[in-house]
Structure formats: structure tokens, C-alpha cells
Amino acid sequence: MLSKKNKEALFNPLSKDNPILVQILGICSSLAVTASLEPAIVMGISVIAVLAFSNVIISFLRKTVPTNIRIIVQLVVIAALVIIVQQILVAYNYDVSKKLSVFIGLIITNCIIMGRLEAFAMHNSPWPSFLDGVGNGLGYTIILVIVAFFRELLGSGTLFGFKVIPQWCYDHGYMDNGLMILPPMALITLGCIIWYHRAHNKELQEN
């Protein structure tokens, strides 16, 4: 079940081969949905679901799909899964689905998904493909949560909507940093995480 290769498919994307930190994929959505933690986590779970199942489906189809039309087939599979996720969200968590607005729909264009389908699912059997999908989705989600944690804490003084910075601080002149809510600061936060990550992983440093 979890051979060495499968373990790598699952755990490598968490840090050493992280889709955001190392492959620099999926930046757009990670800037857009990380103003607070709740949408970031919902977005992360949605991406995990879409990525894992599209990986499995494409892996089953990989021998029957003609190479010239494989991108179209992949898109159809992703689009179908995204619509399912979107409908589930609208049905069970309407508020968050409104907050995420177009970004759930735009999972279709998330380069991580196409990237994994092309690079992994087209050449591997369903079970490793599933693990690879879950791993990459988790790697994506972890970064989203870290960025959203700092942005929500410093930008709104809350976590999951609960006030965590005591009123005492506000009374003594502390103010929330409005820039953290804006996308530029998400990019800089992400940059800092990449900075930290590279500094601690010598083999990733380029000369």
C-alpha cells in the first residue's frame, strides 16, 4: 500500500517538492483567498478533492486517451469535478462559497492540477496517483493556511473570525494593518515563507 515510492508521492509535495514554494504554481489563487483562514481552508480542501479524484480518473483513462486530445479530456474531468465541489459548497456552506466567489470555479485554471495530471497521473497507476494528488493538495493547503494565518492575525486581529488580539492593545494605540488585507502583502508574505524555506533547505538554493 505505502511502498517507498508511494510515500514519496504523498510526502514530498509537503515540503521538498511543494507546489507553491518550490514549483511556484497556483500563486494567483493563494493570493486571492488568503485574507482570512476560513476561506483558505475551504479552498485547500476543495483543491485536495479535485486534485486527488481527477488524478485517479485520468490515471484510469491514461491508456485509452489519444495523446492529441488528452488536454481536452483532462479539462473535462477537472471541470466536472469542480462543478460538483462548487455545488456541494453552495448547498452546505453558502457564506464561504460567496466569499470564495469565482475562485472555486477557477480551480479549473489552477496550474497545479494540470501540472500533476500531465506529470504524474498520465504515467502512473491510480493508487499512487491518488496519493500524489492528496500530497500536492496538502502541500498547497499548508501554505495557504500559513499565509492566511499571518494575514488574518495582522490584518484583522482575528483567527477564524474570533478576536485574538486583546482589546487592551487597541486601547493603547495598536491598529490592524490594512495592507495585510490587500493582495500585495500576500505576495510578500509568500515571499518570506519561500525565503525561510530556502534558507532551511540548502539543496533548493540556486547559485
Partner 1 sequence: MNKIEPSFRPGGKLAKLESVYDGMETFLFTPNATSRSGAHIHDGNDLKRTMITVVVALIPALLFGMYNIGYQHYLAIGQSHEGWFTMFLYGLLAMLPVIIVSYAVGLGIEFISAQIHHKEIQEGFLVTGILIPLIVPINTPLWMTAVATAFAVIFAKEVFGGTGMNIFNVALITRAFLFFAYPSRMSGDEAFVKLDSALGMGKGAVVDGFTGATPLGQVATNVGDQLHMTNIVGEPISCLDAFIGFIPGSPGETSMIAILLGAALLLITGIASWRIMCSVFVGGLGMAALVHALPSATYPASMLDPWTQLCLGGFAFGAVFMATDPVTGARTNVGQYIYGLLIGVFAILIRVYNSGYTEGMMLAILLMNAFAPLIDHCVVSSNIKRRARRAAAKE
- Which residues in the chain belong to E strands, given as ranges? 158-159, 162-163
Q: With CB under 8 A as the contact rule, which of the stretches 9-17, 116-124, 130-138, 174-182 interacts with partner 1?
A: 174-182
- Candidates 26, 4, 9, 5; CA nearest to 142 is 26
**Rounded to 5°, angle at Cα 194 from 191 and 198:** 140
Burial tier of 107 (Cβ tally within 10 Å: 0-12, 13-18, 19+): buried
Place of cell 518550490: 22
Question: What is the closest distance, in whole angstroms, from the C-beta atom of residue 178 to partner 1 in the complex?
Answer: 5
By CB under 8 A, residue 183 contacts partner 1:
no
Question: What is the closest distance, in whole angstroms, from the C-beta atom of residue 173 to partner 1 in the complex?
Answer: 5
Question: What is the closest distance, in whole angstroms, from the C-beta atom of residue 188 to partner 1 in the complex?
Answer: 6
By CB under 8 A, residue 177 contacts partner 1:
yes
By CB under 8 A, residue 179 contacts partner 1:
yes
Question: What is the closest distance, in whole angstroms, from the C-beta atom of residue 191 to partner 1 in the complex?
Answer: 8
By CB under 8 A, residue 158 contacts partner 1:
no
By CB under 8 A, residue 188 contacts partner 1:
yes
Sign of the alpha-carbon dihedral angle for 38, 27, 90, 51: negative
Strand partners, 159: 162
Task: List the one residue from 173, 202, 203, 206 that touches partner 1 (CB under 8 A).
Answer: 173
* Contact residues for partner 1, defined by CB under 8 A: 173-175, 177-180, 182, 188
